[in-house]
Structure 1
Amino acid sequence: MKKEIYITDYNCVTPLGFNVDSNWNALLEGQSGVALHKIIDNQEAFYASMIDTEKLNDEFTRFFDSAQNDIHNFTRLEKMLLLSLQPLVEKHTVSESTAFILSTTKGNISLLKNQTELPEGVYLSKLAEKIAYFFGFKTKPIIVSNACVSGVMAISVAKNMIQAGKYKDAFVIAGDELSEFVISGFNSFQAIGSGPCKPYDKNRNGINIGEAAAAAYITSMSTGNEKFRFKVLGDSAVNDANHISGPSRTGDGLYASIKNTMTEAKVSPEQIDFISAHGTATLYNDEMEAIAFNRMDLQNIPLNSMKGYYGHCLGASGLLESIISMESALHSTLLPSKNFEETGVTQPLNIIKENKTADIKYILKTASGFGGCNAAVVLEKC
């Protein structure tokens, strides 16, 4: 019999706040971090979700005010990651059997700007080692970097490694920041929206890039005295190898991921109370998701995308959105899919349009990304 795996603590750092409570309160009020920002000197401002650097530095100094933790020793991304993980490390023991798992797509890619030689800090392994060393982790860091499914897959990696007996518990941390590299990449695909993104909407025309950090504590050693517990019931990742950037038009990979996940979780479509979907607001992603959800007979389940609030936070998005979905369950509240007005996909979906009270026990979280990768997890509120 497999060990039961629980998420018992989490935290996040986003443009809407530096902890979960501030984020949840902002979301209840319908606030969004998406705004006009000018990041690239020779380009016009565009819509993105960006953390205020001055506030980030102030918060970092408040938490880590000592000589050895000089603010200049850390990049913006590293500060985000450290702030998100700090409250968890304070409450839970780091032992010889504790895993440290980092999810990111680009890491410190900004360090490459104006460099003739490759800076050591740009390597994801070095980023992971720096964060792990700061908090005194004793095991070798594990890096999950699989495009935009990384955050969801990091939960899966923790679950499976604990069940396999490799570790007793795990700290999962995820983060990505806005950078010229990322913006230029999505611009080359003509994928960035001209305004605030509108997932699944008839008038959607592209994504908003965002930045955030998120952290979760995952364990098999639940005491029953935690403030909350969510069981990770099932997980799956499937690559349909459709295209280097374009999603499968038939939704094959996402469909298979969801099917495998729900099979392991032993839940039927009608048992799912809420879907936290990927919903990037690009033409083909949203259509593909609608097809996959219908193939799984999930078209009537309340669904939202958080991209209208946070933008697309790349390697952080899957973990951040999982955390917000768990908050929804704890508060018995479904949040609307921001900026959605009129259905723009060919298959029916039950997209949430306003704050609603609901009993949420089973959550399906999905993600899809470049290269044909797809992932899903089912979480159960205990």
Structure 2
Amino acid sequence: MRKEIYITDYSCVTPLGFNVDTNWKALLEGRSGVDLHKIIDNQDALYASMIDSEKLNEEFNRFFTQKDIPNFTRLEKMLLLSIKPLVEQHTISEDTAFILSTTKGNISLLKNQSELPEGVYLSKLAGKIADFFGFKTKPIVVSNACVSGVMAIAVAKNMIQAGKYKDAFVIAGDELSEFVISGFNSFQAIGSGPCKPYDKNRDGINIGEAAATVYITSNPSQNEKFRFNVLGDSAINDANHISGPSRTGDGLYASIRNAMAEANVSSEQIDFISAHGTATLYNDEMEAIAFNRMELQNIPLNSMKGYYGHCLGASGLLESIISMESALHSTLLPSKNFEETGVTQPLNIIRENQSAEIKYILKTASGFGGCNAAVVLEKC
């Protein structure tokens, strides 16, 4: 008999707040973290979703002693604040996994350096956070472009089912940096204004930053506030292009198909889709094709990028958390900035806050290198 795997707790740190409740309230009010920010000195300001550094430090000072502050980078502070509430609620044992999802980690440490700083290695970043909280197992890093957050959930699920661990803390984080902004600029993928996923007038992404953490276990206690069963997962690489998505949606289609098959749920049973929705021309079109191939075109769907921007390795985990909040509150959130359909295939884009019973959630992600991932969650 297959071991059931549950998400029973989560936390997040974003431009909209330093806990889930604050984020949920902001989202209900339609607030967005996307605004104009000047990130690179010799370039114009651009639209991005950025955590206020002063507020971040204030929050960090509330929970950590003064002597800790100089030892941590800005990203590390985000990660520490995200995981702390969960570590306080759940026991770390010899069988507890620590899984870090990130795309670029401490890439900002490379600025103006002639030699490679030790802290830029993702393994060192994971080890530093894990050691601080006393994890006893070797940290696991999931760094597969923008599907990392969704894949990290899958890695935890599969390792617990295989008996490698009894539970896991999955933490994800990425920050805004000159490196990332310059990279997306080179693809001419940065939007001229607040991003508009699936909209006719979309013209590119907004980069964002966040940290998020979930606790995953095969043996939930009786006093958990909620449980979400991780029913199915899949990750497929379509090997299409180093940065461009498949025009046929093959990889995403296969990921969704496999995840739903493992979950043993049909397209009609899915109540809500938390999509990737980057607001680039080709990504959104590819997703629309894949969803239609799976006959999911009538299922309510949103992208959270209009609220948070694209948070890279944190996106999949953060957006999974928000989708679970939607289920707990029986509320579908609109896909912000969407006005008129700009993809060739029909989709049921959510336009306003609306009540709905949500039991089965499909979360998808796609990224550079042709990677795609999907996970099916069930509210218990």
Q: TM-score range by the shorter chain?
A: over 0.9
Question: For residues 324 and 179 of structure 2, what CA distance do their matches in structure 1 show?
Answer: 32
Question: For residues 21 and 125 of structure 2, what CA distance do their matches in structure 1 show?
Answer: 28
* CA deviation map 1:125-148 (0-9, x unaligned): 000000000000000000000000
SS of match in other structure, 2:80: helix
2:235 is aligned to: 237
Superposition TM-score, scaled by structure 2 size? 1.00
Question: For residues 381 and 225 of structure 1, what CA distance do their matches in structure 2 show?
Answer: 16
Residue among 124, 127, 130 paired with 2:128: 130
1:55 is aligned to: 55
* CA deviation map 1:131-177 (0-9, x unaligned): 00000000000000000000000000000000000000000000000
Q: How does 1:200-215 map to 2 (within 5 A)?
A: 200-215=198-213
2:363 is aligned to: 365
* Counterpart code for 2:48: A
Question: For residues 180 and 270 of structure 1, what CA distance do their matches in structure 2 show?
Answer: 43
Moved more, 219-228 or 169-178: 219-228
Question: For residues 66 and 347 of structure 1, what CA distance do their matches in structure 2 show?
Answer: 54
Question: For residues 94 and 77 of structure 1, what CA distance do their matches in structure 2 show?
Answer: 23
* Counterpart code for 2:228: F
SS of match in other structure, 1:328: helix
2:226 is aligned to: 228
Indicate yes or no: 2:312 matched with 1:314.
Answer: yes
1:13 is aligned to: 13
Q: How does 1:1-382 map to 2 (within 5 A)?
A: 1-67=1-67, 69=68, 71-382=69-380
1:223 Cα offset (Å): 2.5
Question: For residues 66 and 41 of structure 1, what CA distance do their matches in structure 2 show?
Answer: 30
Q: Percent identity?
A: 88
Question: For residues 362 and 124 of structure 2, what CA distance do their matches in structure 1 show?
Answer: 33
Question: For residues 96 and 275 of structure 2, what CA distance do their matches in structure 1 show?
Answer: 30
Superposition TM-score, scaled by structure 1 size? 0.99
Question: For residues 146 and 2 of structure 1, what CA distance do their matches in structure 2 show?
Answer: 27
Any stretches of 5+ residues in structure 1 without a counterpart? none
* Counterpart code for 1:192: I
Question: For residues 72 and 256 of structure 1, what CA distance do their matches in structure 2 show?
Answer: 46
* CA deviation map 1:284-308 (0-9, x unaligned): 0000000000000000000000000
Question: For residues 263 and 354 of structure 2, what CA distance do their matches in structure 1 show?
Answer: 26
* Counterpart code for 2:97: A
Question: For residues 44 and 160 of structure 1, what CA distance do their matches in structure 2 show?
Answer: 45
SS of match in other structure, 2:88: helix
Question: For residues 127 and 224 of structure 2, what CA distance do their matches in structure 1 show?
Answer: 29
SS of match in other structure, 1:99: strand
Give the ranges of 4+ consecutive aligned residues of structure 1 lying more than 2 Å apart after TM superposition.
Answer: none
1:116 Cα offset (Å): 0.2
* Counterpart code for 1:57: N
SS of match in other structure, 2:327: helix
Question: For residues 223 and 302 of structure 1, what CA distance do their matches in structure 2 show?
Answer: 32
* CA deviation map 1:179-200 (0-9, x unaligned): 0000000000000000000000
1:72 Cα offset (Å): 1.3
Question: For residues 112 and 315 of structure 1, what CA distance do their matches in structure 2 show?
Answer: 19
Residues matched between the structures, number = 380
Question: For residues 206 and 297 of structure 2, what CA distance do their matches in structure 1 show?
Answer: 25
1:66 Cα offset (Å): 4.5
Question: For residues 145 and 331 of structure 1, what CA distance do their matches in structure 2 show?
Answer: 31
1:207 Cα offset (Å): 0.1
1:225 Cα offset (Å): 2.5
Question: For residues 187 and 321 of structure 2, what CA distance do their matches in structure 1 show?
Answer: 29
Question: For residues 30 and 134 of structure 1, what CA distance do their matches in structure 2 show?
Answer: 36
Question: For residues 97 and 341 of structure 1, what CA distance do their matches in structure 2 show?
Answer: 48
* Counterpart code for 1:36: L
* Counterpart code for 1:320: L
SS of match in other structure, 1:91: coil
